[in-house]
Structure 1
């Protein structure tokens, strides 16, 4: 995370994230699997380089190989681990998008992520190609109205996107892409009350956005839940030193620290 944005390797970042659950994971294994997928698709590509037909070929092959969204167990942490996504061929929108992006890049069709809250789409890096690809939905080509329908279904209320959205593409920077993967995992571990893994992910998030007070606070709370009280006090004391004294969070943190004083 100390590297410049333009030199961050998304796939390497994803394998590092996955090692919090799969410590023996080798980055080279993920690279080999993606290389193999690209070689399989290369022989099926249309003779002329028509980007839309190329994408349709990629999508069809990935569907035939069994890649699909894991709607049945959406909150399985392994949906966010690139090695397990490649092994099981199922995942969530952002990890399936990463698989698609890596394969398309190897076939000469670079893709970028699109930062839409609630779902993750990708789109050709070429600004003249104004459509989206939904890797979670089998690589379906989505135009603006399709994306609105997908988001409307997610939010259960009408969603409208600015028509200029696709023409002024703002790709998701690698650092934001990785932070979004981590936030998904953090929410999952919060739901499961798995504070050890939540703390590990919170430390990763602090690397993606140094100085973030919310993440410093959350790290301290996870340390409290884990009974690691000296580290908890250190993190939360730093949080208070850097937070506005009258903030609601600061008062909650002071109350937590008082409870620790009473324990001792």
Structure 2
């Protein structure tokens, strides 16, 4: 409850340092010969980079996969006590007989989908957790590519060689039924790990996505290409929304993509635009733009535009005199009833939140006011509005008439709480030095309000 600001910035530093180390390890992984690049390990690198504060390690993930493989062996033993997968150590042999391979896959489907209840996450498909392998193991659900990585890894540990197929819209695995290394797509059975390990023909693969595709899409892909698609999925998720969490996901996935393909102009430009949009790291933006110009001179128009505006941003930053200071004693702020650090409840939506900023009237643009239907409120936009951190991790802008004091104040589990507050007292939050400078007269009112509300409620 104390030292929130110190903890907040310590986490930021730890986040950065861990990511740098993970990127270093990923680049070393990509330098290995292809046959030494474990699909599972690559998936763990992506997971670690996007969740650097979580305790995720390859050894732990591998142990969980080993445990599933042991369960499969138990089922195999009941069906065929002499099966070669029972005598071998993980991944040491490849079983040549198709029927024995089929027994392994049947046992895998039994364990994964019947016993452990793994399934494709159709209801919440666009949740980033579906892409993180440690979450797939915890939640037992995922998307086609993450479930395929798990399925392929277990199969290989049990002596069955499956290969990844970068099929459009739905990642698949292929299982050779003909001569090893065959280039004939009809020599393979295709496996849908998202669809409970269902085995498909070429025609059924097309039914799966609803249209015909050329033979090239049935070909095997490398571990790097698998990681590229996994990161691409996360990139697309980051683009879907305009929230702090989605921007962070977009930043992380761009870092990963450019670690694999450092000269990809399209993604370099996206990274430069993202940093520019967020108003962060302008010097880095200029470095990226210089790199783009060297790679592709035809981009000079877009590069020139961003360079000009980035330089203007740097100049404006030099001229900034400091944050705006809001005094409650100012006549134009007389209608502001609530103060920084108070734990509030939204009257309409019921969420708990803490105030970290206020305006004497709505300061958002006309489009936001229209979209949020602010004019339907009795006092419309001409009333104080408050910046609040919400318990669900979001930041919102709430009208005064929609907020009320929370009768049961509680901590707000928001990732940015330490950015604004240094301590939770049990009834309210104490602004940190930076926030107190911006709202110098709020602390006294917050204390008086808390004393009045919560002391009277105890009597």
Q: Pick the TM interval, shorter chain.
A: 0.7 to 0.9
Q: What TM-score do the two structures reach when normalised by structure 2?
A: 0.52
Taking the TM superposition and a 5 Å limit, the aligned residue runs for 1:166-245 are 170-193=219-242, 194-226=246-278, 227-245=280-298
Moved more, 48-57 or 217-226: 48-57
Other-structure match for 1:31: 62
- For 2:125, the equivalent position in structure 1 comes to 74
Q: What's 1:55 paired with?
A: 105
Larger Rg: 1 or 2?
2
- Aligned counterparts of 1:126 and 1:105: Cα–Cα separation in 2: 16
CA distance in 2, matches of 1:63, 1:203: 34
**Per the alignment, in what secondary structure is the counterpart of residue 75 of structure 1?**
coil
Confirm or deny: 8 A CA contact 1:78 1:85 kept in the other structure.
Answer: yes
CA apart distance, 1:151: 1.1
Aligned to 1:40: 71
What CA distance in whole angstroms lies between the structure 2 residues aligned with 1:165 and 1:262? 48
* TM-score, normalised relative to structure 1: 0.88
Residue 306 of structure 2, aligned match among 248, 256, 262: 256
Higher relative contact order structure (alpha carbons within 8 Å, sequence separation ≥ 6): 1
Higher mean displacement: 93-102 or 47-56: 47-56
The corresponding residue for 2:51 is 22
Which residues of structure 2 form unaligned runs of 5+?
1-29, 84-96, 180-186, 316-459
Q: Tell me: CA distance 1:126–1:253, structure 2 relative to 1, closer, same or farther (3 Å).
A: farther
Q: Post-superposition shift, 1:95? A: 0.3
Distance 1:126 1:104 in 2: 15
Post-superposition CA distance 1:61-97 (Å, at most 9, x none): 2112111111111111111100000110000000000
Aligned structure 1 segments of 4 or more residues deviating by more than 3 angstroms = 125-129
Question: Once superposed, what is the RMSD of the aligned Cα atoms?
Answer: 2.0
Alpha-carbon shift at residue 259 of structure 1 (Å): 2.0
The whole-number CA distance in structure 1 between the counterparts of 2:126 and 2:275 is 23
